[in-house]
């Protein structure tokens, strides 16, 4: 079958998601063995599918050796076979499969699957964002490493929201993978995702491109756009914000 790039991203994310669900349901070893096996098997499936359908493209993956020839490639698939490995091993639903294609450093097509939540998002069909909540807007943060300045940022944002007459009783929502955090904004469970460093390109590329396609602002905290396929795949601090509050974030993060 011949796939467009976004169709291929969706197909691969779906197939890897099915593999991971089946593996977890039938695995009898320890949780850590399950995590290791899941990472390896999902990586192999994705690598095989990319080699079959896009053999001439470069790949950057969390679970593979970083082939530096990607730096001179026009087309680079940036993948995370299992984002939220820890949550996956705990039997939780907040993990995801990330498949993105970057062309000249910009993600052109991507898909993320959250199989345990029965969700699939892609750049060709981003969801319509729900209306800003009438009460208790939420900031989604890491379960294991919340931003060190989150209390200060929250306090400043509350004052800004008050000034605009918007609901300002902020709540923190702790979620596992970057894909699941982004999905929280896409579905209206949260309105701001704040991460103060530590993400890699494979964590961000696929979900953040879908967020952009849906109208969510995605930037580094200094206001610059994210570029992909860099020699160092680690990202500086980032935020994702729904349109109603996006213009406030750089001010409160100063």
Q: Is the fold of 5-122 the same as that of 138-252? A: no
Residues forming beta bridges with residue 192, ordered by sequence position: 139, 241
Domain boundaries, the chain: 5-122, 138-252
Secondary structure of the chain: what % helix, strand, coil (to 5)? 40, 25, 35
Q: What is the pLDDT along the chain (254 residues), one digit of tens a residue?
A: 899 999 999 999 999 999 999 999 999 999 999 999 999 999 999 999 999 999 999 999 999 999 999 999 999 999 999 999 999 999 999 999 999 999 999 999 999 999 999 999 999 999 999 998 888 788 898 877 767 777 777 778 778 777 777 766 778 889 999 999 999 999 999 999 988 877 999 999 999 999 999 999 999 988 899 999 999 999 988 999 999 888 888 777 66
Q: Name the maximum alpha-carbon separation found in the chain.
A: 55
Range 5-122: architecture per CATH: 2-Layer Sandwich (3.30)
CATH class entry, domain 138-252: alpha beta
Indicate the SS3 state at residue 58: strand
Q: Which of 214, 210, 16, 5 is nearest to 115 (CA)?
A: 16
pLDDT on residue 198: 77
pLDDT on residue 167: 64
């Amino acid at each position: 079958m011949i796939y467009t790039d976004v169709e291929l991203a969706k197909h691969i994310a779906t197939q890897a998601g099915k593999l991971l669900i089946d593996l977890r349901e039938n695995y009898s070893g320890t949780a850590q063995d399950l995590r290791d096996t899941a990472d390896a098997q999902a990586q192999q499936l994705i690598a095989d599918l990319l080699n079959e359908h896009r053999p001439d493209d470069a790949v950057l993956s969390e679970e593979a050796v970083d082939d530096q020839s990607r730096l001179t490639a026009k087309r680079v698939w940036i993948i995370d076979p299992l984002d939220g490995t820890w949550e996956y091993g705990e039997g939780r639903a907040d993990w995801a499969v990330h498949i993105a294609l970057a062309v000249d450093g910009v993600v052109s097509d991507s898909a993320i699957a959250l199989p345990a939540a029965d969700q699939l998002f892609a750049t060709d069909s981003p969801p319509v964002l729900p209306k800003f909540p009438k009460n208790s807007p939420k900031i989604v943060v890491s379960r294991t490493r919340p931003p060190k300045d989150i209390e200060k940022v929250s306090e400043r944002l509350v004052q800004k929201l008050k000034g605009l007459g918007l609901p300002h009783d902020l709540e923190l929502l702790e979620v596992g993978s970057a894909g699941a955090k982004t999905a929280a904004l896409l579905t209206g469970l949260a309105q701001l995702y704040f991460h103060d460093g530590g993400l890699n390109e494979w964590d961000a590329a696929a979900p953040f491109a879908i967020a952009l396609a849906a109208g969510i602002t995605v930037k580094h905290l200094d206001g610059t756009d994210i570029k992909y396929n860099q020699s160092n795949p680690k990202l500086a601090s980032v935020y994702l914000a729904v349109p109603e509050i996006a213009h406030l974030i750089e001010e409160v993060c100063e």
